[in-house]
Every structure is written in structure tokens, then in C-alpha cells.
Amino acid sequence: MISTSTGLRAGRREWTAFVVLMLPLLLVSMDVSVLYFAVPAISRELHPSSTQQLWIFDIYAFALAGLLITMGALGDRFGRRKLLLFGAAAFGAASVAAAYAQSAEMLIAARAVLGIGGATLMPSTMALVRNLFLDEKQRAKAIAIWASAMAGGVALGSVMSGVMIEHFWWGSVFLINVPAMVLLLALVPLLVPEFKNPAPGPFDLPSVPLSMAAVLPVIYGLKKTAADNGLGLIPVLSIVAGLAIGAVFVRRQLTRRAAMISPQLFHHRGFGPSIALNALATFAMMGSAYFTTQYLQSVLGKGVLEAALWSLAPSVCVGIAGPAAAAAVQRGANRASVIGAGFVTGAIGYGILTLAGPDSLWTVLIGAAVLASGIVAVMSLVTDMAIGTVPPERAGSAAALLETGQEFGGAMGMAVLGSVGTAVYRSDVKDSLGGGPPTDGLPTDALDRVRETLGAAVAVAGRLKGQAGDQMLDAAREAFTHGMRIACGAGALVLVAAAVLALVTLRRVGPAGPTAGGTPSTGGDATAEGEETAGREVAPSH
């Protein structure tokens, strides 16, 4: 039961429950990067084709993105704790199946179930945080910690992967999940009360395939663009098809009385901008990661584990950025101004990255740290605003929309900025390696691979003897660094525009603290239904 001895303020029980809820958050974010070091070992053991290898990576993200909206709505309807426990069981079982997969097909299937489990865990966790912390200041602090942990989890996943692969077999990277899921299944029923909408209405079943058909083609098109380093006919058609189906989905939500996503979520003027700004923040975060990870490994020549350890350095700053931003708002700073300042800080980080040369480790680390600090500050504030301004009984759907926008933003960042950097790389390599030394005698197909990606250039240069290989590698590294600088300049411009957008769209959005009854105090934006049901939605079942 929610503590009442201090009014709306959460006590030790709620904060302990929050620590437990951090487990699925960390594991789902870690699973994005946990395969980075396992690929060579998986290739040796399971012999996947190039297409299967791609699906081993991507099926997790596709299942996660495609089912977020559905799972958020199901959590609101049937109970967020119940859905969280189901997701934890599925995630743990799929982790064991992935660890002991005997074929590429088995691993792909297990990764798909991991994505389904992740889609239940993410919105359930965020919605439960909304319900556990009714006090505005405590909720802002909890969500700030939540955002910092999510950002750090991606970096931690690659390091944990490297450590496990160095000492155990490749399947061990999945077994990391199992003890945490067992702990979650044991502690959540004891610490976390059940929350759900007491009057959900009929479930909008046709919207389930519609939402998936809208999200998945767009995510696929963006990922295909990033993989191919440029737009092609198939990615464009895929994106257009997804957007068209998305328009049908939106129209259904607007016209049905019992829609999966209630239009009332957008009645507060801060909710829609929060989703857009969070997507832009993820755009910047994933766009920079696309370059910095390659820079550490292929430009500086560091081993994968060493590169992963260096990539943890910016996380030190990330850990304090979210709570610091929340504290600034609680001390009276204007929320829109702090969010705008976060975007400007991120733009400064991108600006520092534009100063990097082929041997600029500390410049890249400092730039990445400044960028990540600004972005995590933004993400913590807009997440709190989005979750805090909706009626508590719809927090699951709100969290799912926020997470879905985040998936779109991350895919877009890698596609757009990656394509910009690749275009510059190819142009520079073509100019510097157009003919003559060091390409004399190099097969045409090998030269074509060098012109495609830096990773291919490193592989080809390693087979060349002496000075020719060094010259090719230097030219490719310089070209990649030049492309990174141009892309980071473009990223800085996007973040400056995002800062302006935040100041314009949020200038009249006030604080979103709860009233005594537990519903958002949003200047009349809370619905009558929310006011009526918020006090009844807690249904503890320990």
C-alpha cells in the first residue's frame, strides 16, 4: 500500500521497490549492446548467414519497438505489476534459451522473445514509478535516476559482454539476465502494489496489428538506411508504408470511444512536445554513439574490450546530469529553460567532437561526456513531464508512447547522421585513393570495399604489406574522422533547433504535480475520469 504517514511522499518501502524496478531497466538497456563482443564466437559456433546475423541483432529491437504500445495498453488494463512479472518470466526463460541455442534460427527466436519481454518490462517499469511516487519532487528525482541508469546500461552492456566472452562461452552474455529476473520475480510481489485502470472499457484489439504495422516498417526502413549508409528504394517504400498505416492508426484512436491510445493523453499541452523532444534527444545520443564506438576501435585501433572500457568514461558525468537537472527545476528554475539548456549543452558536446582528429582520444571522450550530460538532463525532465501530466490510470500507455518515440529517434539518428558521415567518407576516400599508390595492384572488389566503410578499409589494409597498408589506413581514418566532424556539426544544428523548439512549445507549460487525490495538477487538463478514479486505482495484492 502507498505510504500515507507523510501525505503523498513515498517512504522506504517505495524507494526499495524503485531499486528493484531498476533491474529490468538495466537489463533491457544492456541487451541492446550485449552482443557486440559475442558476434565472432557466435559465428564460429552457429555459422549464421549474413542475413541471419543481421536478424540476430535486429529482431530484438523490432519486437521491442513493435509491441511497446500494445504492452503499455495491456498494463493499464490488466495491471502493471502483473505484466511486469510476465515480462520478467519471459525475459528470463528466453535468456536461457538464447544462451544454449544450437542454431542461428533458435537464437533468432530466443532474441524475438527477449524483445517481447522487453516490451512488457519497459512501459510497466516507468508506469509503476509514476504510481509509486505521487510527490512531484520525489518523482522527478526517481525519473532522473531512471534516465541516467538507462543511458549507462547501454555502455555497461558492451563491457559486461567483453568480460564474459573473455572468461566464458558466448552464451554467458545472456545468462547475466537470469539471476536478476529471478530476484525480480521474488521481490516485486512483496514490494510493489498492483496498479491498473479500474474502468478500462473494451479492449481495442484491431489496433494491436495496426500499431505494429505502423511502427515496424518505419523502424525497418530507418535501420536499413543506417546499414546501407543511404536511402534506397526499399527503405523509402517501407517508411512510407509505415507512415500511411500510422495515419490509419491515429485516425482510429481519434474516432473510437475506447481507443488503445486515448486522445486525452494529449490534452495537456506538455505531453506531445515531451514525446517529440525525447525522440530528438535519443536522435542525438544514438547518432553520436554510431561514430564514437567506431572511432575508438577503427581509428584509434583499440581492442574491443579496451574501447568499451573507455566508452564508460562519459557515464561518470551522465550519472549526475539527470538528478542535477531535476534539482534545478525543483529550486525554481524554469523547466523549458533547463530543457533548452540541456539541448544547448548537447550541441556544445557535438561541437567539441567536431574538433577531433585521427588521434584525439580525450577530445572525443570530453565531447561525448558533455553531449551525454546534456541529453540525459533533457530525457529525465521530459520523461517526468510526460508521465507526470497524464492521469495515473493511463501511465502505461503514456510510457509506451514515450518509449516508441525513443526507438524512432534512435533509429533516425543512426540513419541520418550515419549517412552524412558515410557520404563524406566515401567522397574523401575516392579522392585520396582514386588511383596509384597505395592502391596499385589492389583488386577492384577490395578497393570497392575500402570505399564503403572504415571497417573494410582496416581489414584490407591489414593484408597489404608495409607502407602501402599504412598509407591506405591513414587515408581511411582521416576520411572517417572528417565525416564524423561534418555529421557532428549537423547534430549540433539539430540540437540547437531542438532547444528553440523546447523554449517555444513549453513556455506555457507549468509544473505537473499531483493533487491530494493523486491526479495531476495541470491547470484543468486532468480529465474527469482521472479525478474520479485516481483515488481508487491502487489495488495492492501482496
Q: Which of 111-125, 295-309, 330-344, 516-530 has the lowest mean pLDDT?
A: 516-530
Task: Kindly list the distances between the CA atom of residue 296 and the CA atoms of 139, 171, 300, 351, 367, in Å, as whole numbers in the listed order.
Answer: 37, 26, 5, 18, 13
| Contacts of residue 12, Cβ cutoff 8 Å, sequence gap at least 6 | none
Instruction: Examine residue 437 and say whether the peptide bond preceding it is cis (omega within 30 degrees of 0).
Output: no
Q: What's the CA dihedral at 509, 514, 515, 516 to 10 degrees?
A: -170
* CA–CA dist 183, 429 (Å, integer): 52
What pLDDT shows up at residue 100? 92
Question: Do 253 and 325 fall into the same domain?
Answer: no
Shared-domain flag, residues 242 and 299: no
pLDDT value, residue 340: 92
Closest CA to 125 of 99, 102, 149: 149
Tens-place pLDDT, residues 40-56: 678 778 888 766 776 78
435 pLDDT tier (thresholds 50, 70, 90): low
| Alpha carbon distances (Å) from 92 to 179, 205, 267, 460 | 8, 27, 38, 41
Q: How far is CA 211 from CA 53, 62, 72, 324, in A?
A: 27, 13, 12, 36
- Is 426 a domain residue? yes
Q: How crowded is residue 466: how many other Cβ atoms within 10 Å of its Cβ?
A: 8
Looking at residue 388, its pLDDT comes to 78
Judge whether 542 and 189 are in contact, CB under 8 Å. Answer: yes
The answer to whether residues 255 and 288 belong to one domain is no
pLDDT of residue 538: 41
Q: Which residue would you say has higher pLDDT here, 346 or 8?
A: 346
Residues β-bridged to residue 538: 195
pLDDT in the model for residue 534: 37
The total number of structural domains in the chain stands at 3
Q: Indicate whether 121 pLDDT > 60.
A: yes
Residues 89 and 221 in one domain: no
User: Is the pLDDT score of 307 beyond 80?
Assistant: no
Do 167 and 245 belong together in one domain? no
Taking residues 301-306, what's their average pLDDT? 77
Same domain, 485 and 540: yes
With a cut of 90, say whether residue 195 has pLDDT above it.
no
Whether 320 and 442 map to the same domain: the answer is yes
Percentage of the residues of the chain whose pLDDT score is greater than 90: 13
Q: What is the pLDDT of residue 5?
A: 38
Q: What is the mean pLDDT of residues 196-204?
A: 73
From the number of C-beta atoms within 10 Å of its C-beta (0-12, 13-18, 19+), residue 269 rates as middle
Give the residue from 154, 174, 196 where a domain finishes: 196
Mean pLDDT across 348-354:
95
Q: What would the grid cell of residue 473 be?
A: 589506413
In a domain, 266, yes or no: no
What pLDDT band is residue 528 in, cutting at 50, 70 and 90? very low
Same domain, 232 and 286: no
What pLDDT does residue 289 have?
Answer: 81
Domain of 224? 204-259
Asked if residue 74 is part of any domain, the answer here is: yes
Residue 2's pLDDT is what? 39
**Residue 391: predicted pLDDT:** 76
Is residue 109 packed enough to be buried (19+ CB in 10 Å), middle (13-18) or exposed (0-12)? middle
Pick the residue with more confidence: 366 or 202? 366
Rounded to 5 degrees, φ, ψ at 520 are -65, 140
Position 481 in a domain: yes
Say yes or no: 132 and 176 in one domain.
yes
Percent of the chain with pLDDT over 70: 83
CATH of the domain at 93: 1.20.1250.20
Whether residue 458 has pLDDT greater than 80 = no
Grid cell 505510504 in the structure block, residue: 3
Contact 373, 345 (CB under 8 A): yes
Give pTM, 2 decimals. Answer: 0.80
Of the residues 150, 172, 196, the one at which a domain ends: 196
Q: CA distances (Å), 183 to each of 89, 117, 186, 391, in order?
A: 11, 16, 5, 30
pLDDT tens digits for range 235-282? 888 889 989 998 988 888 888 777 777 777 777 777 888 889 999 998
- The per-residue DSSP string of 172-208 comes to HHHHTHHHHHHHHHHHHHHH---B--SS--S--TTHH
**CA distances from residue 287 to 238, 349, 350, 456, 487 in whole angstroms, order as listed:** 21, 13, 10, 21, 9
Domain membership of residue 520 (yes or no) is no
Q: 453 or 1, which is more confident?
A: 453
Q: Which long-range contacts (CB under 8 A, 24 or more apart) does 527-530 make?
A: 527/264, 527/267, 527/391, 529/199, 529/264, 529/391, 529/393, 530/391, 530/392, 530/393, 530/394
Q: Name the more confident of 221 and 100.
A: 100
Residue 3 is assigned to a structural domain of this protein: no
Name which of 511, 508, 500, 279 is nearest 385 in CA terms. 511
Both 483 and 388 in one domain: the answer is yes
Asked if pLDDT for residue 355 goes beyond 90, the answer is yes
| Residue 526 amino acid letter | A
- What ranges in 50-135 are assigned the alpha helix state H? 50-78, 80-99, 104-132
pLDDT at 76: 80
Same-domain status, 283 and 315: yes
pLDDT at site 324:
84
* Overall size of the chain counted in residues: 542
- Residues 461, 481 within the same domain: yes
Domain final residue, candidates 175, 196, 217: 196
Q: What is the mean pLDDT of residues 400-410?
A: 83
Q: How does the average pLDDT of the chain come out, rounded? A: 78
Summarize the confidence of residues 93-108 as an average pLDDT: 91
243 Cα distance to chain centroid: 21
3-state helix, strand, coil in the chain (%, to 5): 75, 0, 25
**Does the pLDDT of residue 153 top 60, yes or no?**
yes
**pLDDT band, very low/low/confident/very high, at 439 (cuts 50, 70, 90):** low
**Is 516 contained in some domain?**
no
Residue 277 lies in a domain: yes
